[in-house]
Amino acid sequence: MLNLPPLLLIGCGRMGGAMLAGWRERGLTGVIVVDPHLREAPPGAALLRAPGEIPDDFAPAAVVLATKPQEAAATLPQYARFAGGAVFVSIMAGRTIAGMTALLGGCAAVVRAMPNTPAAVRQGFTVACAGAGVTEPQRALADSLLAATGEVAWVEEEALLDPVTAVSGGGPAYVFLLAEVLEAAARDQGIPPDLARRMARATVAGSGALLGASTEDAATLRKNVTSPKGTTERALAVLMAEEAWPALMSRAIRAATERSRELAG
């Protein structure tokens, strides 16, 4: 159970909503959500449409920034009054600790984090980095909040958050694409659409579960499936050819990393 003072959640889209649901499952109450786009208050939270509606005496232990990174410049200064008391936990892609601190005021304690969408089923993976002004209790609080949706890892070097965003933050999309193209390839070979979809989804989900449960690395698990001179070996010869899947994935991660750095500007 989470035994914490009230929290402030800025933005309650897919990721913000997943975090809120995770906190609620751990018994946390007293959350105020600020989001002009929600039609009704999420379960276990009070909904406000604008920061001006926040009561003057409200003193959150943490302000979780789950708004779009493009909105940071206009949004963050409106919460500067909480700097010096609350820890700001940002899940905005690309936005640097220095940039957020400048918008919030020099005394702001900022944790930059990058979760991913499996947080919706409490199997997310979040990598976080604490700014220079974050105290140990504030870091522990941020860790508890992020851990409500899955595993948490911390890094000391903030620059790592850009490739983390590319690999872990965007990673679910790449896995979903795998299921999508696997289904399409099955249909191309004459497998009925419903069976193709069931088979592709179950194969990707089951393989992920096996990977998560195994102590062996991914390369070993791949080799375990690949019989010499068999059908899988023939398929992998195509996928692992020069300039094929491994090279394309490396290019994709590089492109996403560069985009994360661009969002800081």
Beta-strand pair 62-65/87-90:
parallel
Domains and CATH numbers, the chain: 7-157 (3.40.50.720), 171-262 (1.10.3730.10)
**8 Å CB contact between 45 and 10:** no
Predicted pLDDT of residue 30:
79
At residue 67, the 3 state secondary structure works out as: coil
What would the pLDDT profile of 55-77 be if each residue is shown by its tens digit? 999 999 999 999 998 999 999 99
pLDDT at 183 (0 to 100): 98
Encoded tokens for 58: 């409200």
Q: Report d(CA 248, CA 254) in Å as an integer.
A: 10
Distance separating alpha carbons of residues 207 and 95, to the nearest angstrom: 34
The answer to whether the CB of 25 falls within 8 A of the CB of 2 is no
Integer Cα distance of 47 and 12 in angstroms: 10
Q: What tokens does 97 get?
A: 């600790």
Over pLDDT 70: what percentage of the chain?
A: 98
Residue 9: phi and psi, rounded to 5, are: -110, 120
Helical axes 193-213 vs 218-225, angle rounded to 10°: 130
Query: What is the pLDDT averaged over residues 189-218?
Result: 97
Q: How confident is the model at residue 242 (pLDDT cuts 50, 70, 90)?
A: very high
Q: Looking at residue 4, what is its pLDDT? A: 64
pLDDT digits (tens, 9 = 90+) for 86-110: 999 999 998 999 999 999 988 999 9
CA–CA gap between residue 248 and residue 243 (Å, rounded): 7
Q: What is the pLDDT of residue 265?
A: 62
